[in-house]
Structure 1
């Protein structure tokens, strides 16, 4: 069985830091993808949306969301426009996004808590 783990986020986000630390403490090999530094592509967001809804993926509590115009906020209800918004302003994405590929099957989780990750990795 081939498994790869990618954690998407930004390094200075406290929740991302906690997730990275937890994965390291569990000695789980993972790749960290800083989407501010390395960018995001449409295919990644589309993959996430196959597993999580816009209501989960878009962080409506963060400062980036609050700074958006009413028109931008309204556009987040439409999948195509929401993808464009996430590509333009990746900080609007709830972090971290955890992508696990097991032999071609993808699993996507958003956010971090110890119980959540324990259940994902059965630890």
Structure 2
């Protein structure tokens, strides 16, 4: 199991604490592998881009008009967090539904 997120994100810290066996990947330092990002994009669509983040608010209208793939490649902190990959399953966020699906 892998958790993709930011080490400074409180929500990611909660997920890491609840899933100690998972490997944490800091998207700012290591990025998200292309195959994982493509699968996440196919699964979650535009929900993968966090339009409530301070990074998003700092972007110009021209930058916001870019494709989600280009936005996430240029600004990894725009990804909604955490992205949890457990085998063939993917979960986005740390909601009660995600926690229940992971047995936490």
Decide: shared fold, TM above 0.5. yes
Partners of 2:98 and 2:32 in 1: CA distance: 23
Partner of 2:35: 43
Q: 1:118 to 1:89 in 2, by over 3 A?
A: closer
Unaligned runs of 5+ in 2: none
Which of 54, 59, 64 lines up with 2:55 in the alignment?
64
Deviations 1:4-61 (A, max 9, x none): x11000101011011111113xxxx21111111112333221011122111x110000
C-alpha separation in 1, matches of 2:22 and 2:99: 16
Provide structure 1 residue ranges, at least 5 long, that are not aligned to the other structure: 76-80
Residue 16 in structure 1 maps to residue 12 in structure 2:
yes
- Please tell me whether residue 31 in structure 1 is matched to residue 27 in structure 2: no
Q: Counterpart in 2 of 1:78?
A: none
Please give the alpha-carbon distance, in whole angstroms, between the structure 1 residues aligned to 2:74 and 2:98: 29
Count of aligned positions: 104
The structure number with the bigger radius of gyration is 1
SS where residue 31 of structure 2 aligns?
coil
CA RMSD, aligned part only?
Answer: 1.4
Instruction: Tell me which of 64, 69, 82 is aligned to 2:68.
Output: 82
* CA distance in 1 between partners of 2:99 and 2:76 (Å): 27
* TM-score normalised over the length of structure 2: 0.90
Q: Deviations over 1:69-92 (max 9, x none)?
A: 1011122xxxxx211110110011
